[in-house]
Each structure stands twice: as C-alpha cells, then as structure tokens.
A and B are shown apart, each in its own frame.
Chain A
Amino acid sequence: MYLLLDPVNRTDSGITRYSNSAVAVLNKSGIPAHVLSIESDESLEQFRQRVATYCSENPVSMVESPETYGAANLVLSVVPVHIRLHFSKYIGQVMEGKLPDEEAFLLEKIAIHQARYISAPSHVADHMTRRFFEYESCSIFANPLCESLVSSEFEREIAVGFVGRWHSLKGTDYFLALARLFPELKFYVVSGDEAQADLGRFPNVEFLGPLAKSELYERCHIVVVPSVFETFSMVALEALAKGCIVVCWDHLGIVEYFSTPVLFTAKKFELASMKLAVESALSSKSHGGECAEIAIASYVLGVRALLQNSIYVDPNATGRVGDFDINYIFKVSGKMSVLKKKGSFSRKLRKLFVNPRQFFLDFYRKRTGKLVVSQDRSKVVLPVVKNTPAAASIKYDIDFSLENYSKYLVSEVDVKHRAMRVLFMSDGDFEFSNDILLKVDGFKDFWPLRHPNLKYGKVDCSFDWNCYEMLRSIPPATRSRFGAFRVIFLWNISNPEIAKFLRCCDPDIIVAGVYDGSKPFDFDALSPHFDVLIGDIPEAVSARKIYYCKNDFLHVVIRKVVQEAIVSPGGYLVPVWNGLKYRPGLEDFDTGFYSGLAVLRNPDFEFSGFSHDSFIEYFVDELDDLFVTDQVYYRYKSMFEDFNNRQCRVDFVRLFLLDGYMFDVE
C-alpha cells in the first residue's frame, strides 16, 4: 500500500488538497493508496507515533510525506520513505524575513536525511531546496488533481479571482495592486476572514468567504496566482482544470508544465508585466481542462518509477529557473518583509495577546542578537547540510583517542545544565546507528535530546588500554569535563575499561551501553561497569538495568533511559521485597541520607566468613522487608523484576552498596 501523510489537514492547505487528490488518483490507477491525516486534537508527536504504528501494522510499500513537520520521522527504516518537496516551512520563514525556526529546520533536515526517495513537483522546487539541504537525486513530476474536480464548463463572468491564504507570501500585495490597476474589472477573493480588513478599500473586490472556492472558479475567467513562490501551485492547477485562465509569475513551479493560451506568465515581481499578462488572458478563449490529465499522468508515472526503485524526471517539466532567479526571489521577499514591518505595531500587539510567549521570545532574541536575519536574503550564506550518509553529518564534539591524548577534545560544555545533557560515543562512525540517531534527533519535544544538549563523540578503542592508564594520562580537570553529561551512551563498545573510566570521571554519570547484536560481547565482564545495557542482550546477563530491544526501537529506549536518568527523586519509598504491610514512619524516612530501608528479622544475626560477600548472603536471608527510594528503583529496575530469585537479591545488595548507597536497617 502507498501511504500518504498529511500533517496539516486544513481545507486551505495545498498539502491537504494534494494528498486527497493523490490518493484518489493512485487508487484509480491501480496503486492501492491511503492517506493518514493529522486529527484536530492530535499533536504532531502523536501523529508521528500513529504513523509509525500504522506502518508497522500494515503492509505499507512506501510512505510519502511532505518535508515539513517530519511526519515520517518515526517510521521504521524498513519502510521506504518518499519525501515530496512541497515547500519547506523553514525556507518560507527565511523568505518572509522571520526568525527562522531552527526546530523546523532540523525536522526537515531529518526528514530529508531519512528519505530513500525525494521528489519535487518542479525543477525550481528542487533548486530552491538544494540551497538549504543537500541530497542526491530528485524525481520531478507534477502534482495530481482529483478528477472529480475537473469541469469543462467555462461560461464565466469577465472577472479575476484569487484563492489562498491572505498572506504576503501568497502575493496579496500584488493582487491588491492589480485590483487598483483595473478599477473597472471585478475581482473575487476566497480566503480567510482576515482578508476582509484589507479589501474594504477596494470597491471592485468582492470577498466570497473562505469556502466558496468552487463558486469562484465558476465565476471568474481569470485566476491570478501572484505568490512570491510556489513549488507547483495546486490553486493554479485547480483553476486550469476548472477551465479558468491562470496568470502568475514566470518562476512558479506550474509554469514548467503549462503555458499559453491557458497559462499566462508575467516577469517576476513586475507589476506592469502582470498587467499585460492579465490583459492578454482576458482575450483568451481557451480552457485548460486537459491540464489535470497531464498532471495526473505525470504523477502516476513518477510514483510508479519510485515504487520500482528508479528516478523519474518528467520530460515536459522544463526547468528554466537559475541561481540568479532564486537570489532574486529571496531579495524581493526580503523587501516585502521590510515593507510589512513598517506598520507592524498592530501585528505585534496582536501577537502579544494571541501568543505572548512567542512575543517575548522574539523580543528577547532580537534584543540579545542571538539570531540576526539579514533583510537581503540573497547575500546570506545559507546553511548547507550534508545528507549522505547521516553519520557524515554528525559533528563530533569529542574525539577521545587513546592513541594520542592530545587528540582528546571535549568542547567547553558547562556543568550547569548537566542534567539535561546527553553524549553518544562510538568506536568509529556510528555505522549501524544512523537511522537510530536520526530518530533520536526527532525527539524535539524532549529537551535533553535537543540540540545543543545532544553531543556526539568518538572513542578510539584500537588500543587495549585500561582504566588506570587512562586516568593516569588524562588530567583531572579534563576528565571532569565528562561530568557535564548526565547520560553517556557507548555504542558497541567491547572494552569495559572505557565505561569504568567514565564512571571514575564523575560518579554521577549514567553510563549506558548500546549493543546491536552484530558481534558477540562478553556481557558478564561489561555489565558491572554499566548503569544500563540496551539492545540485543542475552537473557542470562545480570545488570543494574537492561532494556531488551531490537534496533527498530532503540531510539524509544534511549529516550526512556534519559528520561529515567533525569527524573527528580520524589523522595518516597518503594517496597521491593515483601513490604505489603504498612510500616509506621515510612513517610518520614530520611531519603537525603539513606536510599533504602532494610527490615531484618534479627539485625544482629551471626555470620561466618570474613568477606563482605559472605555477610551479604546472610543479610539477604535475614531480610524481612526491603524498601528503596524511587531513584534507586529506577536505577536497578531490571534486578527487581526477578527479585524472588535469591541470587538477584544478593547481586542487588552488592551493587547497591558498591555504588555508594546506604540502607537504614531496622
């Protein structure tokens, strides 16, 4: 099944229109397709989870998702993801001159990294996206339109229509200027209610409301699409399919497929040229009913090619937009934002009431100069992100080489926010973990796994050095920098001395070992030195905490481990052995000094032997009740799961004491 994702699900959204059309077109073409749309009461994270679950429970052959919102970021790597470049939210923000949302950028970056296939509805969309993201090949084929929308009826009023959000990116200023240039011509607008405020000054412009799109297409001879940029323009295609003549700038995506006499273009951002184009269109009697069929054919061919693992570039799509044009688009959009800003008081006031947090956040950012957005986008050096493979894009913050300690670099990370910081270290290039790390990167709602709290490091394990040699060679000040991390994940590290060393650097570091089962490890030797073991771990291994999971779910477990590591102790006792009966005074237990309460049948029991091990054996046999603090419970979770096993109790007491915790004994 071909699955389409719609993380927007709004009637005025091009993505929603596209998804609904595409699913209808594909089903009719013999490609079973389904669309998953975000629900109104659903968060993006919930939607991503739902998508991942759907993909794991249904036979999905490919998932298609827009690059924005990272809707497919949690989909397992076995399902190929196809990213359709509709229009990046981040690029839109850059065009608008807004403070670009780094979160959005990272989400899109992850989505593009993760994708097996990338396609765009036009060359210009591909060209524009490559300014910000780097990827290999890109298919080019048109957006489809559901045939039910197609109409051959074209007896219309001589009028000009506008459909779309009332937003400067949609070229509303150009539309109003056009209305001013043609005072005798009737103009209709289908948009949100916010448009009415601007339209009151134009007697020749009539507002039809947000839902009267079909009515507009039936009334208007011309539909103008003055958007600053469109990767394709579903509005233009709909208008063409409905038999309208379309007028738009010459750099829009749809221009690559259609031309006169159904589509008239104007030189980009030149109003005089637009006026001429409208005049020409007024005299045209053609209609573009067949445009929908062309687009549908292009789309079906494109999807079929992707399903057969090949790239398809529609020969009808003629890319005519170059670097100069892209720069020019940015330049003009930047100027537009300047014009807009001149009367920004009311906008800011509105923002203050509607979204006060964002208002103060933006104000703070601008004041502190944390992020400066140049007005002239064409001169901005845009970030380039490598995509192949994902590991290559990981910037190693730490290079921990045992061969040469001068290579040991830990970037200056303050210890202040250590509880919220996580480090991933691997011997090599995170080969197996690309997918997993990208998915971890997708947890944007979880602060410790967000940039810049997430750091990557490399450990050179080619030398069989031990903990003592590492400690001796690295000065304490440098060692203590590891203390800036709360959780350190070691990936497929076979040398337990590395974990031992890290635990020596700071006793509060949680050292987690991640193992994918690609090669055998001596877990009995490893487990005492790790706080957590994750992955393909043999069941016989005893450790403080073990999460058995396959690679597909490692990212979820990683999140869980971090979550448990930063949990604030509630300071309450959890019964782990017997403990079903209430004991007076449990509420007043001093969790600051002791981490557990052991109730013994006879605290002064006699024992033989002179080792602590032999004492623990007797101690465990004397246990009547055992309570531990919630913090301890989380830390030794796996051991409590098998606590009826005497050996497990013995191992727990031994490790508990070794880790520096203390029991209050009654």
Chain B
Amino acid sequence: MFGFFYWMGTCLMLNDMNILHIAPTPLVGAPVKVVKALAAVGVNARCLLLSDYPKQSGLQGFFTDGAELINSATAEGEMLLRDALEWADVVHVHNFLSEQAALIIKEYSSKIFVYQVHSPQREGPVFTPRVNEFGIGFSKYLVLAQYHPRHYPGYEIVPNLVLFDPVCEERQGDVLKVLFTPTHARGGRWNSKGDPRLPGIFEQLVRDCPVEMVSLKGPVTPGKLFEIRTQCHVSIDEIVTGAYHQVSLEGMAAGNVVVNAADYFSCRMLQRISGADRRPPFLNANVDTVYDVLSNLANNMDLTMGYIRETASYYRDFMDWRKLVLRYVDVYKAL
C-alpha cells in the first residue's frame, strides 16, 4: 500500500516535467525502454535517436520503435531537435553526442542536463567518455548497474530495463533446452563475449546429456527472442568477462535459469538497484566449468525447476520494470 502511494506521489510530482532522452544510436534499445517505462508511469518523456544501426548489422529498425529518429546534420533534423529541446525540462543525454548536436544542445543552457554512460573504457572498439568536452553542465551522471560502474565509480547507478512481463511458468520436458546467443567477438576486457572453446563444449554436452542447444538463424527482434527464451530452461549470457548483460535480465524475466560469470561487484550493483535483500540467483560458470554446470542441470531436472522457481520469484519480487523505473524518477526528482 505504501509503495503504491509512493509511486503515485512520485509520478504526480513529475507530471508537469518533460524529459527528453537523446542518444547517438539505439544502444540496443536502452533509452527507448526508459522512455516507454516513464510514459507508462505517467511521466512525459520522449526519445530522440540521432542515428540507427547500419543496415549490414542486421539490427536496423529493431530498436527504434517508440523513438524519433532524426539527423541533426540536416536542417529538418536540426529543427526537430530544437523543437524537442524547447519542449524539454530535463535533457537526458546517453553516451555520446556528435559535435554538431552538442553545439545545438549547448544553446539551451537553461535546461537541466543528465548524462548517462553505457560503454566501458579502454575497450575495442575504444570508447572514451567525452562528457566534459560537450561544454554542457550536467547535473547528474548515471551509469548502468552492470559491470560499468567500476569504470565510472563516481556515477550513480541506474537499471537496465526489461519491459517484458515476467513468465513464471515451469517448463515441461525431459530435455534441457539451452539458449545461447553469442553476439560478437570483439576484442577487449569487457566487450569480448565469445570463446572459441564453447562450440566444442556444447557439442560434447549434447552428445553426453539430454540437452538441446537452441540456436537462432540470423538476428531476430527482441520480442521474438523473448518468446523463444520462454520456451527454454536455460539462458546463457557470456561467461568470459565476469559481467552480466541484458541477456541475463531477459532470461530472468523469461523464467530461465540464468548462467553467467557475473562477479561479486556486478551482482551487488544489480542487488542495490533492485532493492533486493539478496544477490541475484545467477548460476555462476566460466568456460572451464560450464560443461559441469549444464550437465548437472540436464541430469537433474528437479534441480533445474528449483532454480527456475527461485529466479522467477526474485524477478517478480524485485525486478519488475514498473518498480525499477522509479529509480529514474528518483533521479529526476532530485534535480
């Protein structure tokens, strides 16, 4: 009851505040999801994307739904950007701004600016935060509550939202269905998400145990991917770096056993942002141990079901997006 009133009160306070999110790229949908979540709780919010992913990436158009895609380098784009800036009370900048966009935004110095970073440092491709070069006085600095805070220790953490409603049904079947969707094999400490040994390990696992590896043929939309995930028992995030990613969050929402290598600090960041009384129920594995972890799950479906129940319970109790989005509301409220 108290939570409901708190929620209502907070949203009413922000009812007359306009929040504009500006991102250089869709950033795998993160800014749009925040805007959608804010809108759902009654906060006026818009999202401007300054570009989409290139066509050859296979991701073009996947994350632009709910956002306004503009090109600030054109006269029309500049006009749209200026209109949006006029409208906004708070301008929430994500990751990076082109020099031209920064110049335009800087003119609106009466607005309140918030900066949120999504990328690590010293990675390949290298991201260097240029927040101090925009010439914009930011009032808050935010960072996703994943592995990123160690790169930006002074920034405040905010959640990465998953807007799917949780699926808490128990899976049937004697074969363990495992979804592993390796994204890219970039170099770098935190961006490297694959390991050349994994395909061989999974092949061996399928031969030895009642395991079905679910694979995707080409890029699919987030909605379709979530639907597939709900049919699986296990979602494997990357198990190389020690981080967790959106895959883990979606896996939890889909009621999967989530396997990753998230370290203590990543888990504590998630625990903090979700207000949970315990660390998230990730099943920890790395390349050396993933065979044992998965074979154990495959050979003991009761154990698997126990993990699924625990994950679903955790997600339901602490990670519902309607609750997590209040962290953003709190940030705006404190400005």
Residues of A within 8 A of B (CB): 466-468, 471, 476, 500, 503-504, 507, 590, 592-593, 598, 603-604, 607, 610-613, 615-616, 654, 657-658, 660, 662-665
Contact indicator A660/B157 (Cβ below 8 Å): no
Q: What is the bound-complex CA distance between A467 and B150, given in angstroms?
A: 20
Return chain A residues, CB-CB under 8 Å to B150.
Answer: 612, 654, 657-658
Contact indicator B122/A504 (Cβ below 8 Å): yes
Does B196 sit within 8 A of A, measured CB to CB? no
Does B181 sit within 8 A of A, measured CB to CB? no
Contact indicator B154/A611 (Cβ below 8 Å): yes
Return chain B residues, CB-CB under 8 Å to A613.
Answer: 153-154
B residues 106-138 with Cβ under 8 Å of A? 121-122, 124-126, 128, 130, 133
Contact indicator B122/A503 (Cβ below 8 Å): yes
Contact indicator B151/A611 (Cβ below 8 Å): no
Q: What is the bound-complex CA distance between A468 and B155, given in angstroms?
A: 20
Q: With A611-B153, A611-B154, A613-B154 in contact, do A504 and B126 touch (Cβ < 8 Å)?
A: yes
Return chain A residues, CB-CB under 8 Å to B143.
Answer: 612
Does B245 sit within 8 A of A, measured CB to CB? no
Does B263 sit within 8 A of A, measured CB to CB? yes
Contact indicator A660/B189 (Cβ below 8 Å): yes
Q: Which of B122, B242, B269, B286 contacts A612 (CB 8 A)?
A: B269
Does B322 sit within 8 A of A, measured CB to CB? no
- Chain B min CB distance to A542 (Å): 15
Q: Which of A500, A610, A654, A663 contacts B263 (CB 8 A)?
A: A663
> Chain B 252-264 against A: per-residue CB contact (8 Å), 1 yes, 0 no?
0000000001011
Closest to A593 in B: B286
Q: How many A-B residue pairs have CB under 8 A?
A: 76
Q: With A610-B272, A616-B153 in contact, do A657 and B265 touch (Cβ < 8 Å)?
A: yes
- Chain A min CB distance to B262 (Å): 10
- Chain B min CB distance to A20 (Å): 60
Closest to B152 in A: A612
Does B156 sit within 8 A of A, measured CB to CB? yes
Nearest 7 A-B pairs (CB), nearest first?
A: A612-B149, A657-B150, A665-B264, A660-B189, A612-B153, A610-B156, A468-B128
Q: Which of B155, B264, B278 contacts A663 (CB 8 A)?
A: B264
Contact indicator A611/B122 (Cβ below 8 Å): no
Q: What is the bound-complex CA distance between A613 and B143, given in angstroms?
A: 13
Contact indicator A662/B122 (Cβ below 8 Å): no
Does B309 sit within 8 A of A, measured CB to CB? no
Does B291 sit within 8 A of A, measured CB to CB? no
Q: What is the bound-complex CA distance between A604 and B277, given in angstroms?
A: 8
Contact indicator B263/A662 (Cβ below 8 Å): yes
Q: What is the bound-complex CA distance between A99 and B301, given in angstroms?
A: 73
Return chain B residues, CB-CB under 8 Å to A611.
Answer: 149, 153-157
Q: Which of A466, A468, A604, A665 contacts B278 (CB 8 A)?
A: A604
Does B42 sit within 8 A of A, measured CB to CB? no
Contact indicator A507/B149 (Cβ below 8 Å): no
Q: Contact residue range for chain B?
A: 20 to 34
Return chain A residues, CB-CB under 8 Å to B152.
Answer: 612
Q: What is the bound-complex CA distance between A466 and B128, given in angstroms?
A: 10
Q: What is the bound-complex CA distance between A500 and B125, given in angstroms?
A: 15
Contact indicator B154/A507 (Cβ below 8 Å): no
B residues 91-117 with Cβ under 8 Å of A? none
Return chain B residues, CB-CB under 8 Å to A607.
Answer: 272
Q: What are 29 A-B contacts with C-beta separation under 8 Å?
A: A466-B133, A467-B128, A468-B130, A503-B122, A504-B122, A504-B126, A504-B128, A507-B122, A590-B288, A593-B261, A593-B288, A598-B264, A610-B273, A611-B149, A612-B143, A612-B152, A612-B155, A615-B265, A615-B268, A615-B269, A616-B153, A654-B153, A657-B150, A657-B265, A658-B150, A660-B122, A662-B265, A664-B264, A665-B263
Return chain A residues, CB-CB under 8 Å to B242.
Answer: 593, 662
- Chain A min CB distance to B110 (Å): 27
Q: With A662-B242, A663-B263 in contact, do A610 and B157 touch (Cβ < 8 Å)?
A: yes
Contact indicator B153/A658 (Cβ below 8 Å): yes
Contact indicator A471/B128 (Cβ below 8 Å): yes
Q: What is the bound-complex CA distance between A466 and B133, given in angstroms?
A: 10
Q: What is the bound-complex CA distance between A592 and B149, given in angstroms?
A: 23
Return chain A residues, CB-CB under 8 Å to B29.
Answer: none
Return chain A residues, CB-CB under 8 Å to B125.
Answer: 476
Q: Which of B124, B133, B189, B272 contacts A615 (CB 8 A)?
A: B272
Q: What is the bound-complex CA distance between A662 and B268, given in angstroms?
A: 13
Q: What is the bound-complex CA distance between A664 and B264, given in angstroms?
A: 7
Return chain A residues, CB-CB under 8 Å to B286.
Answer: 593
Q: What is the bound-complex CA distance between A503 and B190, given in angstroms?
A: 15
Closest to B145 in A: A610
Q: What is the bound-complex CA distance between A323 and B248, given in angstroms?
A: 80
Return chain A residues, CB-CB under 8 Å to B279.
Answer: 604
> Chain B 181-194 against A: per-residue CB contact (8 Å), 1 yes, 0 no?
00000001110000
Contact indicator A507/B189 (Cβ below 8 Å): yes
- Chain A min CB distance to B138 (Å): 15
Closest to B151 in A: A658
Q: What is the bound-complex CA distance between A663 and B188, given in angstroms?
A: 19
Q: What is the bound-complex CA distance between A654 and B189, given in angstroms?
A: 16
Q: What is the bound-complex CA distance between A615 and B273, given in angstroms?
A: 12
Return chain B residues, CB-CB under 8 Å to A466.
Answer: 133
Return chain B residues, CB-CB under 8 Å to A612.
Answer: 143, 149-150, 152-155, 157, 265, 269
Q: What is the bound-complex CA distance between A227 and B263, given in angstroms?
A: 75
Closest to A603 in B: B264
Q: Which of B124, B155, B261, B263 contacts A476 (CB 8 A)?
A: B124
> Chain B 140-166 against A: per-residue CB contact (8 Å), 1 yes, 0 no?
000100000111111111000000000
Q: What is the bound-complex CA distance between A610 and B189, given in angstroms?
A: 24
Most buried by B among A500, A504, A612, A660: A612
Q: What is the bound-complex CA distance between A603 and B279, given in angstroms?
A: 10
Return chain B residues, CB-CB under 8 Å to A615.
Answer: 149, 265, 268-269, 272
Return chain B residues, CB-CB under 8 Å to A500.
Answer: 128
Q: With A611-B157, A612-B157, A613-B154 in contact, do A468 and B269 touch (Cβ < 8 Å)?
A: no
Q: What is the bound-complex CA distance between A590 and B149, given in angstroms?
A: 24
B residues 232-284 with Cβ under 8 Å of A? 242, 261, 263-265, 268-269, 272-273, 278-279
- Chain A min CB distance to B137 (Å): 19
Q: What is the bound-complex CA distance between A612 and B272, given in angstroms?
A: 10
Return chain A residues, CB-CB under 8 Å to B157.
Answer: 610-612
Q: What is the bound-complex CA distance between A660 and B279, given in angstroms?
A: 21
Closest to B242 in A: A662
- Chain B min CB distance to A527 (Å): 16
Q: 18 other contacts beyond A603-B264, A607-B272, with CB at 8 A cut-off? A: A467-B128, A468-B130, A471-B128, A476-B124, A610-B157, A610-B273, A611-B155, A611-B156, A612-B143, A612-B150, A612-B155, A616-B153, A654-B153, A658-B150, A660-B189, A662-B263, A663-B265, A665-B263
Q: What is the bound-complex CA distance between A466 and B130, given in angstroms?
A: 10
Return chain A residues, CB-CB under 8 Å to B128.
Answer: 467-468, 471, 500, 504
- Chain A min CB distance to B42 (Å): 23
Closest to B261 in A: A593
Return chain A residues, CB-CB under 8 Å to B288.
Answer: 590, 592-593
Q: What is the bound-complex CA distance between A471 and B121, given in angstroms?
A: 12
Q: What is the bound-complex CA distance between A607 and B268, given in angstroms?
A: 10
- Chain A min CB distance to B315 (Å): 19
- Chain A min CB distance to B160 (Å): 14
Return chain A residues, CB-CB under 8 Å to B190.
Answer: 660
- Chain A min CB distance to B151 (Å): 6
- Chain B min CB distance to A648 (Å): 16
Return chain A residues, CB-CB under 8 Å to B268.
Answer: 615
Return chain A residues, CB-CB under 8 Å to B133.
Answer: 466, 468
Q: What is the bound-complex CA distance between A592 and B242, given in angstroms?
A: 12
Q: What is the bound-complex CA distance between A491 and B157, given in angstroms?
A: 38
Q: What is the bound-complex CA distance between A610 and B158, given in angstroms?
A: 8
Q: What is the bound-complex CA distance between A418 and B161, given in angstroms?
A: 42
- Chain B min CB distance to A483 (Å): 10
